[in-house]
Structure 1
Amino acid sequence: MFGKKKQPPIKSLIAQGSRIEGNFTFTDGLRVDGEVVGDIHANPQGASILVISESASASGEIHADHVIINGTVRGPVHAFELLELQPKARIEGDVHYKALEMHQGAVISGQLRPMGEGEEKPTLKLAANNG
């Protein structure tokens, strides 16, 4: 259902122990294992994927097509295609999504705001607990 499009490659990494202060723009894919203090924006031309790992934290707005979070985000999240919240995801801010997959244990302190055309309901998928 969600895997119909080929994901862009992850070409950039903010490594654990690294800290970036300021806004960050990327193309294709970005994995954050460190800390970002500022907005993270995918280049609007082409598909994008952003991974916030368990060890990562981000403070600022996030904008990407496919967003996978297993760390801490303080600020609004805008996932234009799919938002995946892994078990250790912690979000303090409103979440805007077209489709949402949320694992047990993920926490959102903010509002869920579906992006949709007209009055259609967004796609929600309950993640299976694989024990």
Structure 2
Amino acid sequence: MSFFGDGKGRAQRSGACVDTLIGHPVMLSGELRFSGGLYVEGRLVGKAVAEDGAAATITVAPRGVVEGELRAPVVIINGRVKGVVHAGERLELGPEARVEGDLHYTVVEMAAGAEVSGKLVHLAPAAPGGTSPTGGGRRAASPSPRSTGEREATPA
């Protein structure tokens, strides 16, 4: 049995549920804000963005097509995506995934057969307490303007 099977069955097996369905042959244009499970079997032109702090999963089915941005904690792709993908926790690419665009992820799983034309950008996991390492939080000390070869003389 393949790890990447029917998306609906996979969502049920993993404990995720489908709260919103863009069925085949539906075409949705615009921005979609959601929480829970979003399953795309049709076509989305625009973007799908999970509500801040919501447990959310976007699944693009083998017949699904997205032209735009996807942003959620968990993104599962087994269809076609042309645009930027932001998966805050986990990104899964099934064997039929065809992606043109940059993929931002914390953890990625890619099946044999998946195709990506773009950059894979690893994100550091969120710091404990919900502070993102890329926003807010402590900054690293800036380097000294002196080059590493220069040293300041100290009296003996």
Deviation at 1:45, TM superposition (A): 2.7
Cα distance between partner residues in 2 of 1:80 and 1:67: 9
Aligned residue type for 2:96 = K
Where relative contact order (Cα < 8 A, 6+ residues apart) is larger, the structure is: 1
- Which residue of structure 1 lines up, in the alignment, with residue 68 of structure 2? 60
1:12-91 alignment, distance < 5 Å: 12-91=20-99
- Equivalent residue pairs, number: 113
Higher Cα Rg, which structure: 2
Which structure's residues are more often helix, by fraction? 2
Q: Calculate the TM-score normalised by the size of structure 2.
A: 0.69
1:7-44 CA-partner distances (Å, limit 9, x unpaired): 55321100010000111111111000000000110111
Cα distance between partner residues in 1 of 2:25 and 2:83: 21
Aligned residue type for 1:100 = V
- Gap regions ≥5 residues in structure 2: 1-13, 126-132, 134-156
1:11 maps to 2:24: no
Q: Calculate the TM-score normalised by the size of structure 1.
A: 0.82
3-state DSSP class of the match of 2:55? coil
Overall identity of the aligned pairs, in % = 39
- Which residue of structure 2 lines up, in the alignment, with residue 127 of structure 1? none
